[in-house]
Structure 1
Amino acid sequence: MSGELRTIARLYRNSLRLHTSTVLGDPVASVLNLPRGAEGHTHYERIRSRGELVRGRSGLCMSASHAVCNEVLRDNRFKVAPTSAVRLKLRPLPGQRTDFLVHPLDDSLASANPPEHTALRKLVAPLFGAAQMRARREFVEELVERQLDALDGGEPVDLIDAFALRIPSLVIAELLGLPAADHDHFARWGIEFGATVDGARGARERRRTQVLLAELTDYFAAAVAARRAEPGPDLITALTAAVDEGAMTEAGLVSTCQALLIGGFVTTANIIGNAVIALSENSDQHEMFAADPGLAGAVVEETLRWEAPAQYSVRVVGEPLELAGRQLTRGTPVVALLAAANRDPEVFTEPGRFDITRPNAREHLSFAAGVHYCLGAGLARMEGEIALRGLYRRFPRVRAVGRPEYCPSRVIRGPRHLLVRTDD
């Protein structure tokens, strides 16, 4: 049997096992087998009801506890786990311009462990420091005001396409030195990538992942070449210098640029979309915010707690250890349910209530914790705050109409399309 056929056979067996475990009532399998785009909190609460750490039929462990998830994220004995792309041994496609294929998560610092992660983060983190964010605040504010004009009308408009995706997409393009005219490519890649984070479940999904990664790899390899020929005041130019000095590989640079692009706007778009949904469903909170748009920072934090843009994160036990009273062996996968941890009643009073005055909302784990705390958290917070403040200042009665269409992913949670009205 060829390697390709073996891969397809393995995908089929894994999918069948997961489906069987779900049918047999395994709560862990039911979370991993949710329909793409489905709301998962009912299933997360089943995990919480079973204890702080629940082991599924496959041996995989899962936690909805804030304390346990926080421990898993902060303890370096738990290693970050790659997505299925690496396990599927993806290779360059025929006709691809570059002779390598990289993944935004698997081949960047997002899936690196110390000490490699430490070295890579030292290269990238200064580019997202507080001073750099302050320097770009005025740019974001001007951009938001321009984009709000697209929402000014009497007919319902798709908030995601017209506003929520464009703000962070144009900001990260400016940071990386990419053409703003390529926004449509960025938006499509971001949406498609959300589904690949779930892992491929068949030959068709594997092929779709390959095509997406080939497009991303070719695009950023060309962008790196352009910055080498004509350096500029952007992040790609800065990171290209790190490659030339031997501190980063060419493939590592391309995958890091991919991660910065996709992570740089998908999270913010989901914050904006999820906030508008939550405010539309909670009229008292909507009225409070519309009366005082200065609460935008609080709205961002409560939205992150209420609906985590990344619902869960996977770690693998690097050495035998004890977690929540269980002895875990090396190689045991542990799923930290970030979205459930953010609604842990041990930490958050009335966790099922959306409350923009919640004093400890910032204790959420939506940006993870420990060495893998989200590199772009400051940027996402700033963009979300400025965008929501501008939106509700210009259109205090903005509200969602109809049912939102969510991104086709189990991990990424946010609306792909969201019709809103900005008038009465």
Structure 2
Amino acid sequence: MITKYRSQFNQEFSEEKYQKTKDLVKEETGQGSVFRLSESPIFLTKDFWEKLDDASQSIISQIKQMPEEELRKAVPNHCNVPNDTQKPHFLAIDFGICQDENGKIVPKLIELQAFPSLFGFQKLYEEIITEVYPFLDALKNSLPKEEYIQKLKEVIVGDENPENVILLEIYPEKQKTAVDFIITEKYLGIKTVCLTKIKKECKKLFYENDGQLIPINRIYNRVIFDELDKIEGLETEFDFREEVDVEWVTHPNWFFKISKYILPKLKHEFVPKSYYLSDFPQNESLENFVLKPLFSFAGSGVNLNPTQEVINEIKDKNNYIMQRKVDYAPVFKDINGEFSKAEIRLLFAWNPKSENPELLVNLVRMTKAAMVNVDFNKKDAIWIGSSMAFFEQ
């Protein structure tokens, strides 16, 4: 959207530089990225940033005012984890880069979650892409690397010894986000531990390292608890619903509380109208709405063109929303003169000692497909996949 920088990047781009970007990721992590990296970042205007900031700050303010008892209703009984916290440690807010009815480029809220995303990898990616394309360095407006890492440490490690803090995932080596786990270990000095490897004695949890059992005092949680029941043959010593002596970062209940569940409760010009499916008005047209499960992840279960027949088949209508469709703007020009669309995710960390969360980094997903998700892209297209945004200074 900033012609000067788009033109410069496209002129400097080469397949060799794209390969160098991927090689540097592999060099830093010991493995390549499983998810596709886009060939290009995106460039957004100061005006667009101000709209993003206004919308996200309004959303944060509204979340803070929501009664705890109202948010607690989002947590399914079978997923309730003891020792909930007053607020989450992380917040990710996804905006589509869209066109309004007047053709103006505006952000539109797509979804949000109180769950950590690629905080480690996105900082690494920023360092790498600015090394490969030095002109981008002048556009960086994020924290210096050491200060960034310190902010993450304050939230994730806190006052604990890093040895007693783990990143928890289920079969982490099989996850698409494994590169993020590796970088997080490097940045914070913590271990990534599979849920199946956790040992439990009374209310204490342990993991094994070099033949020794190490007490776990804090868990940087990357497990989507709701997904565990879908894994066949899963055997663990520790059940999330048990009361144990650990601090959660962030507590699993927040995955449900700040999710698509609150979209119908939010009000802002850049928040598309949403309804719980059970409350969908008869005077609204289905063709103007997208059907989404409340707690799906990575686009799972989303229906872009719901019909009345599909809706009639749904028994648990309280677990779905209808969200007004938005028009993604194909404004990111590739070297062949074709255009990609994009979503931007703002990644906030929320230090328990701070009144408000702090924006640390962003993540961009580019596509030429109907759904803006890296899994839905055509394999032979370019300017698609995971990237980040640089903003006009």
Tell me whether the two structures share a fold, i.e. TM-score over 0.5.
no
Give the TM-score, by structure 1 length.
0.26
Give the TM-score, by structure 2 length.
0.28
Q: Higher strand fraction: Structure 1 or Structure 2?
A: 2
Q: Higher helix fraction: Structure 1 or Structure 2?
A: 1
